Amino acid sequence: MATTIETMTRDALVERVGRLPRVRIAALPTPLEEMPRLRAALGPDSSSPRLFVKRDDLTGLAFGGNKVRHLEFRVADVLAKGADTMIVTNVAQSNHARLHTAVAAKFGLTNYIIKIPSKKDQPIQGNLLLDHIMGARIIEAESDDPAAITRHLDDLIARLHADGHVPYAVPRDQFSKIAGTCAYLLAAVEILGQLDILGASVTHIVMASGTSTAGLALAGKVLGASYRVHAVSVGGSREMIEAQMLGYANSAAELLDLPVRLTAADVTVHDDYVGERYGVVTAAGLEALRLTARTEGLILDPVYTAKAMSGLIDRVRRGAFKAGDTVLFVHSGGLPITFAYGEEIMESLGGIARSD
Ligand SMILES: *Cc1c(COP(=O)(O)O)cnc(C)c1O
């Protein structure tokens, strides 16, 4: 059970986060919908919790996703620091790289992607295709060796400075790391307000782990909310994810002078749905992708949201939630990735279905 002591009101939390510079990009509030047919597919209602989904895949910019919320704070920081160029380092199917490229276009900045090689470099599809369309400047790193990436980053920063530019290196900026956590403090308030209108309350929130889940958990603790956050790892051990989440949450709590700190007891991290590793599909994830699509017309991506949903589904089937529980799944986006995994997805569907 989550803490039930409210140490701040929702208004006070919104006011506190409101002290940070922010630009408005995201289409908010995103819808919050019920998933009755997915619930029915998982068992009789008496044994399955009521299921809701927060549609943060619909945040608006360039195929949306959770990172559009983050960018409202990060771009404000970029502008406040007088930067004209952003640099990210990531793989071809990175939502992070796609959305930095989109926001750069929107604000007249330049975005460089130091691109780490991966199996999804060819054919050019999904996020990488969108990066090209939106004019990203792509530097191909020869390997995923951290030392090589650091060298590329150092070289690019030096070159940009020499040319009179002001670069903002996203992986190195201290505030940048917790922009997502700050943004999801507000997302939590948005969710609670929408549930009030529906006359519902949630006992569990399930989402792919990261800076966003740190924000949801921290907000839950500050507000004495009734939910527990389940952060589902899509790559990385429980210990590592937990340590990162506490780090993000408590840096944000310090920055915003919040009256609480997050501890390991406040969140549940699951690392049993990763499969082989980040970016490699799992059978359970592909089943979650198919089932959610065929019961709710809701599309998940195979790398983040399908794995997170496979965790939710597995826990419902194993009876890990109690009768009377209500579970909210946060759809964090990632949709372009789906198109880069057509082969794996078709294989899991048993090939092309014919009706003749
Ligand atoms: C990046 C990402 C996440 C999780 O990481 P955050 O640090 O919270 O952004 C989850 N889902 C999707 C689709 C993402 O792109």
Select which of 46, 47, 94, 209 is catalytic. 94
CA of 336 to the centre of ligand 1 (A): 13
Q: Which atom of ligand 1 is nearest to the CA of 70?
A: 9
Q: In the predicted model, what is the mean pLDDT of residues 287-309?
A: 98
pLDDT at 1: 45
Torsion over CA: 315, 317, 320, 325 (sign): positive
Tokens standing for 176? 């940048």
CA distance 313 to 328: 12
Q: Which atom of ligand 1 is nearest to the CA of 301?
A: 13
| 3-state class (DSSP) for residue 231 | strand
Does the structure show a pLDDT above 90 at 218? yes
Choose one of 182, 304, 337 to mutate for the ligand 1 pocket test, by most ligand atoms within 8 angstroms of C-beta: 304
Q: How confident is the model at residue 2 (pLDDT cuts 50, 70, 90)?
A: very low
Choose one of 91, 212, 305 to mutate for the ligand 1 pocket test, by most ligand atoms within 8 angstroms of C-beta: 212
Average pLDDT, the chain: 96
| 3-state class (DSSP) for residue 27 | coil
CA distance 293 to 22: 34
CA of 354 to the centre of ligand 1 (A): 36
> Domains (ranges, CATH) in the chain?
10-64+177-349 (3.40.50.1100), 84-165 (3.40.50.1100)
Q: Which amino acid is at 223?
A: L
**Could you give the angle at which helices 10-17 and 174-198 cross, rounded to 10 degrees?**
150
pLDDT digits 0-9 by tens, 3-52: 468 899 999 999 999 999 999 999 999 999 999 999 999 988 777 899 99
Residue 100 and residue 89 in contact, taking contact as beta carbons nearer than 8 Å = no
CA distance 312 to 202: 14
Q: How confident is the model at residue 353 (pLDDT cuts 50, 70, 90)?
A: low
Residue nearest to atom 4 of ligand 1 (CA): 210
Residue in 279, 213, 283, 220 with CA at minimum distance from that of residue 246: 213
Task: Map tokens 């895949």 to a residue.
Answer: 57
Does the structure show a pLDDT above 90 at 355? no
CA of 304 to the centre of ligand 1 (A): 7
Tell me, yes or no, if 94 is annotated catalytic: yes
pLDDT at 352: 67
CA distance 151 to 146: 9
Q: Which long-range contacts (CB under 8 A, 24 or more apart) does 292-300 make?
A: 292/35, 292/38, 295/35, 295/37, 295/38, 295/40, 295/41, 296/35, 296/37, 296/38, 296/53, 298/35, 298/38, 298/53, 298/331, 299/57, 299/335, 299/338, 300/331, 300/334, 300/338
pLDDT at 270: 98
Choose one of 54, 61, 67 to mutate for the ligand 1 pocket test, by most ligand atoms within 8 angstroms of C-beta: 67
Q: Which residues contact 191 (CB under 8 A, 6 or more apart)?
A: 32, 54, 202, 205, 328
Residue 170 and residue 192 in contact, taking contact as beta carbons nearer than 8 Å = no
CA of 243 to the centre of ligand 1 (A): 17
Burial, 16: exposed, middle or buried (Cβ in 10 Å; 0-12, 13-18, 19+)? middle
Residue in 173, 211, 189 with CA at minimum distance from that of residue 17: 189
Q: Which atom of ligand 1 is nearest to the CA of 337?
A: 13
| 3-state class (DSSP) for residue 275 | coil
**Percentage with pLDDT > 90 across the chain:** 94
CA distance 232 to 234: 6
pLDDT digits 0-9 by tens, 324-347: 999 999 999 999 999 999 999 999
Residue nearest to atom 12 of ligand 1 (CA): 332
pLDDT at 5: 83
pLDDT digits 0-9 by tens, 249-289: 999 999 999 999 999 999 999 999 999 999 999 999 999 99
Q: Which atom of ligand 1 is nearest to the CA of 207?
A: 10
Residue in 195, 219, 231, 228 with CA at minimum distance from that of residue 32: 195
Q: Which residues line ligand 1 (CB under 6 A)?
A: 65-67, 95-96, 180, 208, 210-212, 304-305, 332-334
Residue nearest to atom 6 of ligand 1 (CA): 210
CA of 62 to the centre of ligand 1 (A): 15
CA of 208 to the centre of ligand 1 (A): 6
pLDDT at 43: 87
Buried b vs exposed e over 147-184: b needs ≥16 C-beta within 10 Å? eebeebbeebbeebeeeeeebbbbeebebbbbbbbbbb
| 3-state class (DSSP) for residue 252 | helix
Q: In the predicted model, what is the mean pLDDT of residues 143-154?
A: 95
What global pTM score does this model have? 0.96
Choose one of 30, 57, 66 to mutate for the ligand 1 pocket test, by most ligand atoms within 8 angstroms of C-beta: 66
Does the structure show a pLDDT above 70 at 303? yes
CA distance 258 to 256: 5
Q: Which atom of ligand 1 is nearest to the CA of 208?
A: 10
Residue 157 and residue 167 in contact, taking contact as beta carbons nearer than 8 Å = yes
Torsion over CA: 225, 26, 232, 335 (sign): positive
